[in-house]
């Protein structure tokens, strides 16, 4: 695992965690580790509610800018816990989808550090994450059709925008596993790293540190701008909406002024937690 050395000064109490390990590998960075390795980190209803509380807390906590999600053992997440939910994933989903990620809009970015098996709902989660890093051994699949159900947590209309119709159809209709290198070639993930213990988390932390070094306000607004296009707005319409809705908020915040001042003074900016 990446060194866990930073202790943030939190304004809001950390949510209780039964199925996850919560840690802080760098300033502004939250690491959430799914911790049901014997069950391949499959998510049941209680687990899903825990994750929803965590992501909502991330969005509201000024000391945090970006989150990372990973898993313990040989799986990232193999989907819904069908042993307790024979009808599929619906009972473990909030309005934000499977793991409160597959349909999450949110304010702050979440990076997936995929350490192994990423099937079903696990794959639906990473399809809607902001960045994805994978170990070479990681495999991705939407195998729902093999057991008579459907990937209904938001992945189907999203994955076509990421990998295109033919590849999206291949994943959804065959259910076959896609290896990390192939997923990288398809554009499903950002980076493939080795299989050494903790290597994928370390790579995700490096991305997170780059994000957390920037203005928290600008990160939120930049992410919103990309989401507008992802959610189907045309380029001109999305730009106009961002200028009218988000730009005034950005300009009224302290971080924009601090960023410009620090640039002029040739020093590192001292960012404050976002109030957007």
Task: Give the pLDDT confidence score for residue 250 in this predicted structure.
Answer: 83
pLDDT tier at 169 (50, 70, 90 boundaries)? very high
Nearest Cα neighbor of 29 from 218, 206, 219, 189 is: 206
In the predicted structure, residue 224 carries a pLDDT above the cut 50: yes
In the predicted structure, residue 171 carries a pLDDT above the cut 80: yes
Q: Token pair of 45, please? A: 């209803």
Using DSSP bridges, classify how beta strands 66-71 and 131-135 pair: parallel, antiparallel or unpaired. unpaired
Q: Which of 26, 80, 96, 155 is catalytic?
A: 80
Q: Is 61 a catalytic residue?
A: no
Measured distance CA(205)–CA(124) in Å, rounded: 22
Q: Which of 50, 52, 61, 124 is catalytic?
A: 124
Q: What is the mean pLDDT of residues 15-19?
A: 95
Beta strand ranges found along the chain (DSSP E):
20-26, 29-34, 66-71, 75-77, 110-114, 117-119, 131-135, 139-141, 178-179, 191-193
Using DSSP bridges, classify how beta strands 191-193 and 20-26 pair: parallel, antiparallel or unpaired. unpaired
Which three-class secondary structure state does DSSP give residue 69? strand
Q: Which of 144, 203, 208, 238 is catalytic?
A: 144
10 Å Cβ neighbour count for 173?
A: 10
Helices and strands per DSSP (H, E), number in the chain: 10, 10
Question: Which neighbouring-strand residues pair with 94?
Answer: 97
Which three-class secondary structure state does DSSP give residue 161? helix
pLDDT tens string 102-142: 999 999 999 999 999 999 999 999 999 999 999 999 999 99
Q: Is 237 a catalytic residue?
A: no
Q: Is 50 a catalytic residue?
A: no
The 8-class DSSP code of residue 242 comes to I
Q: Which of 71, 79, 116, 121 is catalytic?
A: 121
In the predicted structure, residue 1 carries a pLDDT above the cut 60: no
Measured distance CA(221)–CA(112) in Å, rounded: 21
Nearest Cα neighbor of 208 from 107, 112, 275 is: 112
Using DSSP bridges, classify how beta strands 191-193 and 131-135 pair: parallel, antiparallel or unpaired. parallel
Beta strand ranges found along 92-242 (DSSP E):
110-114, 117-119, 131-135, 139-141, 178-179, 191-193
Domains and CATH numbers, the chain: 20-212 (3.90.226.10), 216-264 (no CATH)
Task: Give the pLDDT confidence score for residue 5 in this predicted structure.
Answer: 65
Q: Is 154 a catalytic residue?
A: no
């Amino acid at each position: 695992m990446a060194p866990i050395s930073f202790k943030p000064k939190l304004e809001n109490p950390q949510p209780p965690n039964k199925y996850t390990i919560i840690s802080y590998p760098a300033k502004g960075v939250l690491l959430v580790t799914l911790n049901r390795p014997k069950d391949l980190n499959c998510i049941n209803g209680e687990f899903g509610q825990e994750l929803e509380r965590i992501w909502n807390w991330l969005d509201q906590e000024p000391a945090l800018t970006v989150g990372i999600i990973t898993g313990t053992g040989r799986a990232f997440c193999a989907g819904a816990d069908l042993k307790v939910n024979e009808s599929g994933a619906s009972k473990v989903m909030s309005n934000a989808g499977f793991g409160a990620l597959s349909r999450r809009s949110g304010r702050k970015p979440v990076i997936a550090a995929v350490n192994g098996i990423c099937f079903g709902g696990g794959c639906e989660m990473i399809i809607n994450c902001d960045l994805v890093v994978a170990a070479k051994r990681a495999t991705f699949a939407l195998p729902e059709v093999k057991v008579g159900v459907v990937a209904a947590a938001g992945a189907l209309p999203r994955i076509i925008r990421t990998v295109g119709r033919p590849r999206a159809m291949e994943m959804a209709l065959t259910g076959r596993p896609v290896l990390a290198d192939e997923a990288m070639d398809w554009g499903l993930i950002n980076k493939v790293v080795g299989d050494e213990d903790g290597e994928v988390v370390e790579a995700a932390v490096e991305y997170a540190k780059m994000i957390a070094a920037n203005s928290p306000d600008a990160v939120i607004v930049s992410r919103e701008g990309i989401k507008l296009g992802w959610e189907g707005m045309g380029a001109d319409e999305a730009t106009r909406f961002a200028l009218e809705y988000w730009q005034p908020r950005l300009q009224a915040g302290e971080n924009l002024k601090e960023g410009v001042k620090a640039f002029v003074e040739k020093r590192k900016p001292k960012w404050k937690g976002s109030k957007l």
